[in-house]
A and B are shown apart, each in its own frame.
Chain A
Amino acid sequence: MSGVLVLEQALNGLQFGLMLFLLAAGLTLVFGVMDMINLAHGSLYMVGAFVAAWLVGLTGSFVLGVLGAVLLTGLFGMALEAGLLRTLYARDHLSQVLATFALILILNDGVKMIFGTDLPLSAPAALAGPVELLPGLQYPAYRLLILGVGLVLAVALWLLVQKTRLGALVRAGASNRTMATAMGTNIPALFTIVFGIGAALCAVAGALLGPLLAVQVGMGENILILAFVVIVIGGIGSIRGALVGSILVGSIDTLGRTLLQHVLREFLPPQWVGAAGPALASIAVYVFMAAVLAIRPQGLFPART
């Protein structure tokens, strides 16, 4: 097990974690501020990926495709919130589960009807090659782009939440919604904006991960579960928690998948390693979540007062 391999996987884990953060951030805000369970969040990620793939095919430019997807998905998210999801805030969580589950069905098939079951999306040709980070460590340039974008957005989001008025309102709403309303915050507009930002972030993740993970119907379901795990670990309503949680989860998942194989190879007969490795890696994330909940039931950085 070489140090280069570990480093490479660590970078992959960080990269996946940052993309996971983009989903988790939107999800934790929606759950924290609006107290709504939104199962369709993964579907917004899927919509973002499909729109990006479609636009890139249309314009031939990766940048235009991604930016267009972000804009369109953000607008779509806001329309969805204002038109439908708004009515669910007052309802109990079970009704929200049913409604957003229904939304998953509608969006999955809707996307299939418009775009087909999958669309090709490849990384821009300029970034197709590897970059030498260290002697002996070649890392794909495209993944470096993802890392860069992820870090920039993480910082931008932190600045937004910590340093702007909007951010203050969001934090107030997440901390104590009743008081925030009583203090005169224009809740409906705030909610629409929060949801729109969440949708836009999903689109970034979807568009950037598209070339790596394949743009296909149903791609949102698996990552949605991880996003929920992240926000539970991080603390509902906390952006900082979402960031820490997603990097941890991303790393455990990625490193687990690759490095665990090496470790298991020492102990188990080969035919078991192929199956046990990924299985244990997937379980590892949930075991970690259970452990965090056992020690700190409110998550690592609880936002709620």
Chain B
Amino acid sequence: MLDAFGAGYYLSLASRIVVYAIAATSLNLVLGYGGMVSFGHAAFVGLGAYVTGILVSEGVLGIGWHLLWTVAVTALVAAAIGAISLRTRGVYFIMITLAFAQMLFYLANSVKGYGGDEGLSIKARSLLGFGLDLKNPLVLYYVALGVLALSMVALARFVPSRLGRAVLAIRDDDVRAEALGFPTYRLKLVVFVVAGALGGIAGALNVNQQGYVSPNVLHWTQSGTLMVMVILGGVATVWGGLVGAAALLLLQEVLSAWTEHWEFWTGWVLLAAVLFARQGLVGLLLARRHRPGPSPPPGIGDTR
């Protein structure tokens, strides 16, 4: 729809929103539905961006290769991180995921061959074949939109499925789920890995969109931003990732056009959201439409 405007700026903004929405949705999977507060999710996004970026700078341009390697590497790393982290719970899980993300951040800082702390710029982009190239902003937008749509449909189908119900049961009370015979550790690990891989795909799209990746993409404040998008949009809702990403990025755009102190006002809006929109924006919108509103997920970050 936006291509009718023809304005490159809006297309680029929309693409950014969609790519962030994919990342936020992947975090919502692990955080909202899986109940695992991973404070290191930006690491997977960054990892995907770096894998694709490095492949492009080495001359490997086919999107098939990019997706294959991105998913393989991020899934593997997520499996390793998850295997260790999921042995902990509560705030310790949060800290250890953060720790691993920080390790990857410092690793990215030290890869002198691929930019180091200055980051990596790429000249080319992923090739889709049939003459289609992600350098074309329109193609990029539609590819990203397609990935987002697929992710959301998959998520919507996952939740009521047997696997989904098992995961939700574990989220709500993993001791009881364990007692009932669910393989809690294995299921949580699966969710963690899938979410990580999807985050990696978002990263691959991100480096294509920006033409650049730097260690900052893996910084813990980026993980924080993703969490903010999820919480703002609506934890454990299919639309939460998209709504949160769109809300935050649009807010930043609008505010930064108006004042250089947009961070200040963004903070206040977020604060208002926490205090007055407890179920996130999706919850707010749903509550307006019909009462009672969606039942809030139990305190996901609760640690005892």
Contact = CB atoms under 8 A, between A and B. Distances in A.
Partners in one complex: yes
A99 B267 CA distance: 8
State the majority secondary structure of interface residues on B: helix
B109 A279 contact: yes
B84 interface: yes
Given A102-B274, A271-B112, A289 B99 contact: yes
B110 A93 contact: no
B303 A290 contact: no
B106 to A, nearest CB: 4
Given A101-B224, A275-B110, A290-B84, A92 B95 contact: no
B112 A293 contact: no
Contacts of A96: 301
Q: Interface extent on B, as a size class?
A: 35 or more
B43 interface: no
Interface stretch (A119-127, A224-232, A244-252): A224-232
A93 B302 contact: yes
Contacts of B167: none
Contact of A236 (B91, B107, B268): B91
A283 B106 contact: yes
A108 B262 CA distance: 11
Interface stretch (B178-186, B189-197, B227-235): B227-235
B252 to A, nearest CB: 11
Interface centre among A88, A106, A221, A276 (most CB of B within 10 A): A106
Contacts of B302: 92-93
B267 A102 contact: yes
Interface stretch (A6-14, A18-26, A109-117): A109-117
Contact of A113 (B91, B100, B221, B264): B264
Given A229-B95, A276-B110, A109 B102 contact: no
B49 to A, nearest CB: 19
Nearest to B32: A94
A102 B231 contact: no
Nearest to A282: B106
Contacts of B267: 102-106, 109
Interface string A81-102: 0001001100111111111011
Contact of A279 (B100, B107, B221): B107
A290 to B, nearest CB: 6
Contacts of A276: 110
Given A105-B270, A275-B110, A282-B106, A232 B95 contact: yes
B170 interface: no
Contacts of A282: 102, 106
Contacts of A95: 231, 274, 278, 301
Interface string A26-38: 0000010000010
Interface in B274-304: 274-275, 278, 299-303
Contacts of A297: 88, 92
A225 B220 contact: yes
Contact of A286 (B87, B99, B300): B99
Interface string A256-287: 00000000000000011001101100110011
Interface centre among A104, A278, A290 (most CB of B within 10 A): A290
A191 B266 CA distance: 28
Given A92-B299, A102-B274, A221 B221 contact: yes
Interface string B20-49: 000000000001000001000000000000
A108 B268 CA distance: 12
Interface string A287-299: 1011001100100
A297 B231 CA distance: 28
B273 interface: yes
B248 to A, nearest CB: 11
A125 B263 CA distance: 37
Nearest to A107: B267
A39 interface: yes
Nearest to A281: B106
B202 interface: no
Interface of A: 31, 37, 39, 84, 87-88, 91-99, 101-106, 108-110, 112-113, 221, 225, 228-229, 232, 236, 271-272, 275-276, 278-279, 282-283, 286-287, 289-290, 293-294, 297
List the 3 closest pairs (A to B, CB-CB), nearest first: A93-B301, A92-B299, A105-B267
Given A87-B275, A102-B266, A105-B264, 15 more contacts: A93-B299, A94-B300, A96-B301, A97-B301, A101-B224, A105-B263, A109-B263, A229-B95, A272-B112, A278-B106, A279-B109, A283-B106, A286-B99, A286-B102, A290-B99
Interface of B: 31, 37, 84, 87-88, 91-92, 95-96, 98-100, 102-103, 106-107, 109-110, 112, 116, 220-221, 224, 227-228, 231-232, 235, 261, 263-264, 266-268, 270-271, 273-275, 278, 299-303
23 contacts: A87-B275, A92-B300, A92-B302, A93-B300, A93-B301, A94-B299, A94-B300, A94-B301, A97-B301, A98-B228, A98-B273, A99-B271, A99-B275, A103-B267, A103-B271, A105-B263, A105-B267, A225-B220, A283-B102, A283-B106, A289-B99, A290-B96, A297-B92
